[in-house]
Amino acid sequence: MPRAALYIAGRLAGALATIAVGALVVFFVMRAASGDPALAVLGENATPEAVAAFRAKHHLDAPLVAQFLIWLAGMLRGDFGLSLTIAGGIPIAQLMAARLPITAFVGLYAVVIAVLISLIMGTIAALRRGRAVDTVATSVAVLGISMPDFWLSYVLVFALALGWKLFPAYGFTSPVDSLAGALYSGFLPALAIAAPMAAVFARMLRTSLLETASREYVVVARSLGFSKPFIFRQYVFRNALIPYVTVIGLQIRYLLGGVVVIERIFGIQGLGSLAVDAAFARDYPTVQACTVVFLGIVLLVNVVVDLVCVALDPRRTL
């Protein structure tokens, strides 16, 4: 399939170009605002020799554009520079490598939970439109959107961890060490991240199912005498999934935002808590790198989502 490969390559190239422009904006905004990193780290009273050595080590003596290109070229090789304050002198890539699988696991876990809940809720609400079940599901969905996820995580901890002692209230077993442990200790954080998303997904699926069910091809299928379950499976559900999957892609931005706060609450050593720690310590290169990596994750996920949509849509082929 050379055309498919070409399409994917084109989308990936577009994503990479956007990441590069995003990195450019992040770099210059950060540099304009934070002033001289050497003075920020060493303090105003640093000796000129120390400042000069620091600047040479972090390529700060080169022109700004050159500094940006060095940084960008480094990132393409997987080198994000050195951390300034939170883990002085350790490569940021090394800090991230340990944390990326954890964040990916928690995020994916949350998406799976949100998809499961929303598929059930959205489908039942659409099939029983206007009945009590629909009203309940729709109301629960609005409630879900209105609860800040970090608050929900404390309510869950209060009820399920401190009250019933079903789950741990704090701490997380890395999936690298034990998958079962990660699934168990990650359940509450994943559920807290998933709940608002599940609400958004369920609402989208319900609307999309109802809209698809009134399409002409569904009316035609009905007039041809196909059975109801067959029509639902083959005509309604499949086509209704396209906007549903698109919304999942759009929600990745909010999911990653949720991850940042929730990792902090549950003491999960992921990319989110790295970003927050770095923000507190004013570790500019690490904040910069985290921001770009989060942007990259969103863009890559969107490429994948787009491919899934193409695969689902019978009108589009690669």
Partner 1 sequence: MRPDAASALGGRRGARLLRSFLGNATAVIGASITLLVLLAASFGAVLMPYGPNEADFLNILSPPSLAHPFGTDSFGRDVLTRVLYGARVSLVVSAAGVALAACVGTSVGMVSAYKGGYADLVLMRFADLLFAFPAFVLALFLMVVLGFGTVNVSVAIALTYFPIFARLSRNMTLLLREEPYVQAARLMAQPTPRILVREILPNIAAPLIVQATIGVAFGIIIEAGLSFLGVGVQPPTPSLGVIMADGREYFQRGPWVLTLTGLAISIALLGLNLFGDGLRDLMDPRLRQRAGQ
Task: Annotate each residue in 294-313 with x if it binds partner 1 (CB under 8 A) or - if it does not, as one string.
Answer: xx--xx--x-----------
Under 8 Å between Cβ of 106 and 189: yes
Task: Annotate each residue in 1-40 with x if it binds partner 1 (CB under 8 A) or - if it does not, as one string.
Answer: -----------------x--xx--xx--xx--xx------
Number of H helices, E strands in the chain: 14, 0
Q: What is the dihedral of CA 174, 179, 182, 186, to 10 degrees?
A: 130
Check binding of 151 to partner 1 (CB under 8 A): yes
Looking at the Cβ atoms of 146 and 214, the one nearer to partner 1 is 146
Check binding of 256 to partner 1 (CB under 8 A): yes
Q: What's the token pair of residue 73?
A: 């070229």
Among the listed ranges 52-60, 87-95, 148-156, 223-231, the one in contact with partner 1 (CB under 8 A) is 148-156
The CA distances from residue 129 to 120, 190, 206, 240, in Å, are 14, 29, 9, 16
Looking at the Cβ atoms of 190 and 283, the one nearer to partner 1 is 283
Looking at the Cβ atoms of 154 and 184, the one nearer to partner 1 is 154
Check binding of 205 to partner 1 (CB under 8 A): no
The residue among 107, 141, 103 whose CA lies nearest residue 122 is 141
Least CB distance from residue 256 to partner 1, whole Å? 4
The residue among 161, 164, 143, 142 whose CA lies nearest residue 153 is 161
Residue 20, H or E segment = helix 2-34
Looking at the Cβ atoms of 205 and 231, the one nearer to partner 1 is 205
Contact with partner 1 (CB under 8 A) among 254, 269, 304, 305: 254
Q: Which of residues 156-185 bind partner 1 (CB under 8 A)?
A: 157-158, 162
Looking at the Cβ atoms of 135 and 227, the one nearer to partner 1 is 135
Among the listed ranges 85-93, 108-116, 139-147, 231-239, the one in contact with partner 1 (CB under 8 A) is 139-147
Looking at the Cβ atoms of 109 and 284, the one nearer to partner 1 is 284
Q: Which of residues 259-288 bind partner 1 (CB under 8 A)?
A: 260-261, 264-265, 275-276, 279-280, 282, 284, 287
The CA distances from residue 91 to 6, 94, 98, 280, in Å, are 35, 5, 12, 19
Contact with partner 1 (CB under 8 A) among 148, 230, 234, 316: 148
Tell me the backbone φ, ψ of residue 91, rounded to 5 degrees.
-60, 135
Instruction: State the residue for tokens 């399920």.
Output: 160
How many residues lie near partner 1 (CB under 8 A)? 48
Under 8 Å between Cβ of 291 and 275: yes
What is the SS3 string spanning 240-264?
HHHHHHHHHHHHHHHHHHHHHHHHH
Q: What's the token pair of residue 253?
A: 């931005």
The amino acid that residue 13 corresponds to is A
Least CB distance from residue 93 to partner 1, whole Å? 18
Least CB distance from residue 2 to partner 1, whole Å? 29
Least CB distance from residue 94 to partner 1, whole Å? 21
C-alpha 87/C-alpha 264 separation (Å) is 18
Check binding of 253 to partner 1 (CB under 8 A): yes
Residue 106, H or E segment = helix 92-127
Q: Which residues would be at the binding site for partner 1 (CB under 8 A)?
A: 18, 21-22, 25-26, 29-30, 33-34, 142-143, 145-148, 150-152, 154-155, 157-158, 162, 252-258, 260-261, 264-265, 275-276, 279-280, 282, 284, 287, 290-291, 294-295, 298-299, 302
